[in-house]
């Protein structure tokens, strides 16, 4: 029974993540189950431009804005950064591992994700500190989960 439980737990977690991703509006960027990097990049550029316009970034803030946008780019070694090719490569690598090795690998990926989240958080705080109080209010409203219009939060990646 225990031997079946772990794989079922992992499979159900993966299914939950996949369903959650589709429910958050990622579906239009998918093509036969694969992310379309070009559509994702277009969406990201559009969101960046809209957020920058709403914040009314001044010439003096351009450097901070550029650093913030650069920090929000996805790390090249995380799943999703290179589209379906990286996912396929990771899946092939995982298939060669035993179950305990796969669990360890997934734990290492989670640690990498956590590190990336912390890095982006620090970059966001540094950028936020350069904004005027009025700009901070706009940033708060625009980046709130389900912000104006009830959509997804602003993602710059």
pLDDT in tens, 74-120: 776 655 555 556 677 888 888 898 999 999 998 998 999 899 999 99
Q: 63: left (phi > 0), else alpha (psi -120 to 50), else beta?
A: alpha
Q: Is the pTM of this model over 0.85?
A: no
Provide the pLDDT for residue 103.
Answer: 92
Provide the pLDDT for residue 23.
Answer: 45
Residue-averaged pLDDT of the chain: 75
Q: Is the pLDDT of residue 22 over 50?
A: no
Concatenating the DSSP letter of every residue in 2-58 gives HHHHHHHHHHHHHHHHHHHHIIIIIGGGEETTEE-HHHHHHHHHHHHHHHHHHHT--
């Amino acid at each position: 029974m225990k031997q079946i439980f772990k794989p079922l737990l992992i499979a159900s977690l993966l299914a939950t993540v996949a369903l959650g991703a589709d429910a958050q509006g990622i579906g239009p960027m998918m093509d036969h189950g694969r992310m379309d990097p070009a559509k994702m990049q277009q969406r990201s550029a559009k969101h960046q431009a809209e957020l920058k316009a709403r914040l009314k970034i001044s010439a003096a803030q351009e450097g901070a804005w550029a650093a913030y946008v650069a920090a929000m780019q996805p790390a090249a070694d995380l799943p999703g950064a290179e589209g379906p090719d990286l996912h396929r490569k990771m899946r092939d690598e995982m298939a060669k591992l035993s179950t305990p090795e796969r669990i360890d690998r997934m734990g290492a990926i989670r640690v990498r994700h956590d590190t990336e989240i912390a890095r982006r958080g620090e970059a966001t705080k540094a950028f936020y500190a350069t904004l005027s109080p009025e700009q901070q209010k706009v940033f708060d409203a625009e980046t709130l989960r389900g912000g104006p219009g009830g959509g997804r939060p602003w993602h710059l990646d």
